[in-house]
A = this chain, B = another copy of it.
């Protein structure tokens, strides 16, 4: 005898939400969807969903609600402050999954509001997701969920049906911890999305063929999930299809830098990326796929007057691109783990999540365990620091070549600055000390 599946309300049917909601429909759940954009509702009905005209209508009599709107402002509106907000109709004891990427401070504030409004009965789960629209539709997202034990217990089946079993992370620390975990992961995303454009843009400026160079990069130590994922769109003359708009990563980037400032933490890599994203926005690239930022790096090619680099063979040019990317990935790994440590997250869980999610990179996998040891004040093993000085030397050569070619490498330049500061601050010029100081740059 089949168990009766509970009815679910789903608020926010954008690129991610639509996939998540239709996945629930496919798995046999009766889902009532709401979105402010009517055409999407019709599409959802055609996909087998029920539709509602207001948040109230969507959540009425449903004990489970997933909220997947774009921002904290939208969440606040559909749940509490807007017209016909969900809160007024959510059944007693309902489970509410907030899957949007929002600041930790917002979701904690939401928990407080529920309590102050006499709705402490609602089982709020702070459960941002990662993985993109395709995995949303497949029900194989990465999910980072924080909440009370009771809420997690009641909502676990729903988290499971939306996620890859190996990529569901129940984060210790209650409401807020899930958002912090997502935020720290997004440090990697914010840097590595831009790094894809910077790396392939640099390859182009060096005169490499972007098609073959990118295949070499994917086979190298400079592999990163973001590079592989953005590659087809970077190579498309129109940067199509739009899979993730610049405005999306810019929103997440803003959460990182403002939350970091709030806690007196410095994010030199992410702050640099954010400035470049603002420049892209100013150019009108906001609605375009974020892979299209490669334009900011290639537009001057052949137009800046006579330039000549020193790298001549394709092999030596490729080595510079790999060094640039590895330097960026090293520093974004350090920034991520240092920030996670500041947020009191479980660093082993951070590591496991990051290597399996969109922030994954070969460098993160290699240096992550060492940086975690440093954060914990544990001694490194012999050989842990090997290659660091060489990596910094090669990064410097890449930045110097970019200078000869008169082309910007914002992230690579910032990574080199951080590595230089690390070296200057080191009392002994050993590899271990240098890398330890890289962690120290982030206040550890």
Residues in B neighbouring A56, C-beta threshold 8 A: none
* In contact, A300 and B283 (Cβ under 8 angstroms): yes
Q: Which of A43-51, A81-89, A261-269, A318-326 contacts B (4 or more CB under 8 A)?
A: A261-269
Cβ of A300 and Cβ of B271 under 8 Å apart?
no
Chain B hits for A272, CB < 8 A: 413-414
Known: A300-B282, A421-B441. A408 touches B266 (CB 8 A): no
Instruction: Give chain B residues whose Cβ lies under 8 Å from the Cβ of A383.
Output: none
* Bound CA span A403–B250, Å: 10
Q: Is A343 an interface residue (CB 8 A)?
A: no
Give every chain B residue within 8 A of A267 (Cβ-Cβ): 417
Chain A interface residue bracket vs B: 35 or more
Bound complex: CA A402 to CA B278 (Å): 10
Verify A282–B299 contact, CB threshold 8 A.
yes
In the assembly, what is the distance between CA of A292 and CA of B276, in Å?
Answer: 19
- CB distance A279 to B266 under 8 Å? no
A305 contacts across to B, CB distance below 8 A? 247, 286
**Bound form: Cα–Cα A265–B424 in Å:** 8
Asked whether B304 lies within 8 Å of A282 as measured between CB atoms, the reply is yes
Q: Is the CB of A417 within 8 A of B268?
A: yes
Flag if A258 contacts B403 (CB, 8 Å).
yes
A413, B266: Cβ atoms closer than 8 Å: no
**Which residue of chain B is the closest to A443 with respect to CB atoms?**
B424
CA distance A275 to B417 in the complex (A): 13
A303 at the interface (CB under 8 A from B): yes
Tell me which residues across on chain B come within 8 A of A254, comparing CB atoms. Answer: 403
A423 lies within 8 A of chain B by Cβ = yes
Given contacts A303-B282, A408-B279, contact A403 B266 (CB under 8 A): no
CB distance B296 to A279 under 8 Å? Answer: yes
Q: Does A204 belong to the interface (CB within 8 Å)?
A: no
Cβ contacts A329-368/B at 8 Å (1 or 0 each): 0000000000000000000000000000000000000000
List 9 additional A-B contacts (Cβ < 8 Å) besides A264-B423, A274-B403, A421-B441.
A254-B403, A258-B400, A265-B420, A266-B417, A271-B413, A271-B416, A275-B408, A275-B410, A424-B443
Top 6 A-B pairs ranked by shortest CB distance? A282-B300, A424-B443, A266-B420, A278-B408, A275-B408, A268-B417
Would you give 6 A-B contacts (Cβ < 8 Å), ordered by A? A266-B424, A275-B410, A282-B296, A282-B407, A424-B443, A425-B440
